[in-house]
Structure 1
Amino acid sequence: MGRILCFDYGAKRVGVAVTDEQRIISTPLLTCENKKIFEFTESYLNENNVDLFLVGMPLDLRGEPTDSTAITKSFISKLSSQFSSIKIDTYDERYTSKIAKDSLIFLGKNKKYRRKKSNIDKVSASLILQSYLIRNS
């Protein structure tokens, strides 16, 4: 079984997280500029066995699409075209940024670290992925 690579796609950055080979634990991997995400993904796939992409789907509090939903769907379409052999699934990403910020406080990270949006993005991706793993276990 291959790893799951999770993307929290945003207008400027993409938070990325990955599972272990047994698909038990989610780990924040990095935050990448969105214009470099396909280059990163290609490189990562050359080094690692991944058989599922998970993309956080932005929805409003009622579960309805937001302005960001269309941008994310466009990203998914490009991801599917470029990496057609890898299955893609989506998962609700509501509240993940807030939970990520709270998690960094709980972990004792200093204010400078917590204010860096790239740290929040990769932790958000990890939270999306961990929620997906729990729901599908």
Structure 2
Amino acid sequence: MPTHELLNFIGEYMAKEPVERIIIGLPKQMNNEVSENMKNIEPFVRSLNKRYPDLPVEYVDERFTSVLAHRTMLEAGLKKKDRQNKALVDEISATIILQTYLESKRF
């Protein structure tokens, strides 16, 4: 989904389902510093906070999620063409980010 459609999508989703918080992948470099890509995420998060000020936003380190997504696709037996689908890789990566967040809250 294009970034410019996300705020409306979130609003429509929240009208149908309860949402406690938004989890966003935090792009970090190997030295643990935030990567250059954060400049693309910050404006969206500011807009999100402005439109939904009571909705908490939490970040989860997204390093290696694409690698893990590709590994998952290989293990699932997906064909090379499917593994090259960036939207699918992003979807699986987002699932891994959410799973990481949920596992961190278990303890």
Normalising by the smaller structure, the TM-score range is: over 0.9
Q: Aligned partners of 2:79, 2:10: CA distance in 1, in Å?
A: 30
Bigger radius of gyration, 1 or 2? 2
Say if 2:14 is the partner of 1:35: no
Q: Select which of 75, 98, 102 maps to 2:44.
A: 75
Can you list the C-alpha shifts for 1:11-45, whole angstroms capped at 9, x where unaligned?
xxxxxxxxxxxxxxxxxxxxx11121112111111
Match of 1:86 in 2: 55
Structure 1, unmatched stretches of 5+, are: 1-31
Q: Distance in 1 between matches of 2:20 and 2:38?
A: 24
* Alpha-carbon offset, residue 113 of structure 1: 1.4
Specify the SS of the correspondent of 2:101. helix
> Of the two structures, which has the highest relative contact order with CA contacts closer than 8 Å and spacing of 6 or more?
1
Q: Which consecutive residues of structure 2, in runs of 5 or more, have no partner in the other structure?
A: none
Alignment match of 2:74 (pick from 77, 85, 105)? 105
**C-alpha distance in 2 between matches for 1:87 and 1:65:** 20
Number of the residue aligned with 2:83 = 114
Q: Secondary structure of 2:20's partner?
A: strand
Give RMSD over aligned pairs.
1.0
Classify the secondary structure of the residue corresponding to 1:50: coil
3-state DSSP of counterpart to 2:87: helix
Q: 2:26: which partner in 1?
A: 57
Give secondary structure in 1 for the equivalent of 2:78.
Answer: coil
Secondary structure in structure 2 of the residue aligned to 1:70:
helix
Question: Normalized against structure 2, the TM-score is what?
Answer: 0.93
